[in-house]
Amino acid sequence: MTYTVREELKPAGLNGISDDQINDHWNLYKGYITQSNALKEQLETMRENGQGGTPEYMDRRRRFGFEFCGMTLHEFYFGNLKAGVNLDENGAFAKAVSESFGSLDKWKEDFAAAGKSRSIGWAICYVDPMTGDLNNHFIQLHEEGNIAGFNPVLVMDVWEHAYMVDHKAGGRPDYINAFLSNVNWDVVEKRLADAKAQGSAKRF
What residue ranges bind Fe ion (CB under 5 A)? 157, 159
- Per DSSP, helices labelled H in the chain are 19-48, 55-79, 92-101, 104-115, 172-180, 185-197
Shorter beta-carbon distance to Fe ion: residue 159 or 185: 159
Shorter beta-carbon distance to Fe ion: residue 65 or 132: 65
CA distance 204 to 200: 8
Shorter beta-carbon distance to Fe ion: residue 57 or 159: 159
What is the smallest separation between the CB atom of 188 and Fe ion, expressed in angstroms?
19
What is the smallest separation between the CB atom of 88 and Fe ion, expressed in angstroms?
28
What is the smallest separation between the CB atom of 107 and Fe ion, expressed in angstroms?
23
Residue 1 has what DSSP assignment? -
Chain position whose Cβ is nearest to Fe ion: 157
Residue 199 has what DSSP assignment? G
What is the smallest separation between the CB atom of 177 and Fe ion, expressed in angstroms?
18
The SS3 call for residue 167 is coil
Shorter beta-carbon distance to Fe ion: residue 27 or 49: 27
53 by Cβ neighbours in 10 Å (0-12 / 13-18 / 19+) ranks as exposed
121, amino acid identity = G
